[in-house]
Chains A and B, each alone.
Chain A
Amino acid sequence: MITPYLQLIALLEMSLTCAVVFVILAQKLSSIDIPFSVRLLAVLLLGNLFFWPLGMSMELPLAAYVRGVTGELSVVTMLLLWSSVIPSNQKTPLGFKVPLALIAIAFYPLALGLGMLDPYAWGYGSIGLLIAVILFAIICGLAGWIKGVWIISFAMIAWASHWHESANLWDYLLDPFLAIWALIAIPKAIYQKRREKAQSGYLFRAG
């Protein structure tokens, strides 16, 4: 049903993702908070720039070049990125990033040929993996990260409806960029905690 539109959907998603990444970078570099309306406008403009073929010597739209290098991003990555431009965006908890990083550390070496066990193959329809994902989403919800429940649910539905080229659930949940982000978040959080501790120690040191 979706098959004729697979490439179009993928290009639209990639265009939007590229636009959002630029807006996030601009926000990081900017000292003032960029208003939501400006962010939205920038996403729309940049999204169009990435989506439509620009001609010149390029045979494809810009998003297609990015897609050639990055492949399809997981639905979880895309939704996390897209939701980050929304004003009331909930910060992703460390309780999501740490297990994600641990899963990635175990998953990628095995999936890329270390031994005969291939966890990636479970993604084609293992009921065990599906139960694990549902449990993970429930834990996210019980821990108070409601956005996580929505994101994982959307990823599961996208898989069931063949939203992307892949028929593997892993490709809807995890990608190397998400794994790197989760891995970096751990030392970053430790560093930030130590800094906060040091600062509070300085302010309230007994005279």
Chain B
Amino acid sequence: MSRVIAFCFLLLASVLTYLHVDSRPAWVPFTSDYPVNIANQADDALETTEGSKPVKPLKNTGPVKMAQPTLQMGWLPDTGAPSVHAASLITLKDGAVRAFWFAGSREGAPDVVINTAVFDPQASRWSAPTVVMDRVSAEKGLSRYIAKLGNPVPARMADGRMQLFFVTVSIGGWAGSSISSVISDDEGLTWDRPQRLISSPLINLSTLVKSPALAFADGRLGLPAYHEWIGRFGEFLRIDAGRVIDKRRMSSGRGAIQPVVFTDGPQVASAFFRQTRSSSQPKQIPVSETKDAGQSWVVSKDLEIPNPNSAIAALTLANGTRLMVLNNIEAGRYRLVMVMRKANSDQWQVVQVLEDDESLINDQHREFSYPYLISANGEDAHLAYTWDRKKIRHIYFSAAWFKHAISILKEKEAQ
């Protein structure tokens, strides 16, 4: 008799779980932040030679001479913390830019907090920094012990709210990371209670986030994440508010983390990674591709740009031009450049050397790392990156600057 009752209960459970599976949202195509108008590219196009050549650091390029217009360079506001890192940016509804970064006595210290400030593009000025999250408020909100905080990454939800993903660690180093998120109804002034994203079967250990999210056609977010423990590989999380509802592996093994994704259409996208390979393997950018909107990824040929185990930033402008900011050297993080690739081209070219300590002796090399790129209107770009772990550099590239940079490159090519 008890067996019959148990089987009846199992039947009930089976029906409920089947209904749950059946109600799962279908996987949908990507959407674009702004319609990519490749036709516009014609005016701005770089004239490139046939075929794709390996991109080499253009040592003689030097900073592109920008008589007019100049780059707007500044710093994120100083919080007095000796160590700052992992800045990220998001455009606000009024056209301003909000930055997030972590700051504390050192990376991984319990006193690390996630700071935020707003950049007013009219006044070209940053607001005073405030704290979004500290360790104690994270652990109270998540009802569990938190030892330290890490990378913050903001995203715009389909309903207009802002979501901030951030890394927390309860045990061990960054390998013990998990991702949590908070949502704001008022453009980042106040935040609701944090929620934990579950993305790993082993005590939810070792999932981190560094790169911007993508939007799906149904309004959900696709978040490029990565594991950094037994394996070092990329994962594509499908997020529904504060919950992971699906995930797909972007790479495997121990060689590729921190994916950034370029979409090539509603179904097609390429992910570029920070390489974490052993010394015998090529120090280049690993690549994965999807042709079904991120449901499955295939590892493809490396992008032949040097990568010294360092994060890269990626952005597509409205005219289809692609930008990346990266350290194009095989060791160290003392040189940071912006590379550009025009629509329908395979060739990446250095358009701006942002930092270069190559002339200094080894122990004087500073670290320029963790770049993050966004565009406010599809024609310009805001860049933030860690400057020697002491400050966060902010650079604004106007639409005019991009036009000018392209024309200079064309001149160089003509020569």
Q: Is B142 an interface residue (CB 8 A)?
A: yes
Q: Are B203 and A114 in contact (CB under 8 A)?
A: no
**Residue B252 contacts which of A60, A115, A149, A171 (CB distance < 8 angstroms)?**
A115
A41: interface (CB < 8 Å): no
Q: Is the CB of A130 within 8 A of B9?
A: no
Task: Check: A42 CB closer than 8 A to any chain B CB.
Answer: no
B109 to chain A, nearest CB (A): 17
- Per the bound structure, the CA–CA distance linking A68 and B204 in Å amounts to 10
Assess the A114–B252 pair: CB atoms within 8 A: yes
- A166 within 8 A of partner (CB): yes
Within 8 A of A (CB), among B119-137: 136
Size band of the A side of the interface?
Answer: 35 or more
Q: Report if A156-B143 is in contact (Cβ < 8 Å); known contacts: A112-B231, A120-B201.
A: no
Contact (Cβ within 8 A) A153 B12: yes
A134 at the interface (CB under 8 A from B): yes
Residue of A nearest to B233 (CB): A113
User: How far apart are the CA atoms of A161 and B203 in the complex, in Å?
Assistant: 21
The answer to whether the Cβ of A137 comes within 8 Å of any Cβ in the partner chain is yes
Residues of chain A from 153 to 194 with CB closer than 8 A to chain B in the complex: 153-154, 156-157, 159-162, 164-171, 174-176
The answer to whether A64 and B202 have CB atoms under 8 Å apart is no
Q: Which of B7, B13, B170, B204 has the most CB of A within 10 A?
A: B13
Question: Residue of A at shortest CB range from B20?
Answer: A160
Q: Is the CB of A134 within 8 A of B20?
A: no
A43 close to B (CB within 8 Å):
no
Bound complex: CA A176 to CA B232 (Å): 20
* B19 and A138 contacting across the interface, CB-CB below 8 Å: no
Interface pick from B73-81, B91-99, B238-246: B238-246
CB-based contact A64/B248 at 8 Å: no
B198 at the interface (CB under 8 A from A): yes
Known: A124-B245, A176-B202. A10 touches B16 (CB 8 A): no
Chain B nearest CB, measured from A93 CB (Å)? 15
The tally of residues in B whose CB lies under 8 Å from a CB in A reads: 56
Question: Is A112 a contact of B202 with CB atoms below 8 Å?
Answer: yes
Contact: A160 with B195, CB < 8 Å?
no
Q: Is the CB of A150 within 8 A of B6?
A: yes
- Are A141 and B10 neighbours in the complex by a CB distance under 8 Å? yes
Does B230 lie at the interface of the complex (its beta carbon under 8 Å from any beta carbon of A)?
yes
Q: Say whether B158 faces chain A, with CB atoms less than 8 Å apart.
A: no
The digit string for A45-84, where 1 denotes a CB below 8 A from any CB of B, is: 0000000000000011000110111111000000000000
Q: B51 at the A/B interface (Cβ < 8 Å)? A: no
B14 touching A134, Cβ below 8 Å: yes
Contact between chains at A67 and B7 (CB < 8 Å): no
Q: Of A64, A123, A138, A162, which one neighbours B10 at CB under 8 angstroms?
A: A138
Q: From known contacts A59-B140, A141-B3, infer whether A71 and B230 are also in contact, taking CB-CB under 8 Å.
A: no
- Asked if A1 is at the interface (CB within 8 A of a chain B CB), the reply is no
Q: Are A125 and B21 in contact (CB under 8 A)?
A: yes
Known: A150-B9, A171-B198. A157 touches B16 (CB 8 A): yes
Chain A residue at minimum C-beta to C-beta distance from B180: A165
Contact B252 A160 (CB under 8 A): no
Chain B contacts with A in 306-329, Cβ cutoff 8 A? none
Q: Do B227 and A113 touch across chains, with their CB atoms under 8 A apart?
A: yes
Q: Which of B14, B16, B143, B203 contacts A60 (CB 8 A)?
A: B143
| Shortest beta-carbon contacts, A-B, top 4 | A113-B231, A68-B145, A166-B198, A153-B13
**Which residues does B use to contact A, with CB under 8 Å?**
2-3, 6-7, 9-10, 12-14, 16-21, 24, 136, 139-140, 142-147, 170-171, 195-198, 200-205, 227, 229-233, 243-249, 251-254, 297, 299
- A sample of 18 inter-chain contacts (CB < 8 A) reads A10-B143, A60-B140, A65-B144, A68-B147, A72-B204, A116-B297, A124-B246, A125-B21, A130-B21, A149-B10, A154-B13, A156-B14, A160-B17, A160-B20, A162-B243, A165-B243, A166-B244, A171-B201
List residues of chain A with CB under 8 Å of any chain B CB. Answer: 7-8, 10-11, 59-60, 64-65, 67-72, 107-108, 111-118, 120-121, 123-127, 130, 134, 137-138, 141, 146, 149-150, 152-154, 156-157, 159-162, 164-171, 174-176
In the complex, besides A7-B142, A117-B249, 11 extra interface pairs with C-beta distance below 8 angstroms are A113-B230, A113-B252, A123-B201, A137-B10, A149-B9, A153-B6, A153-B12, A154-B13, A161-B16, A164-B198, A166-B244
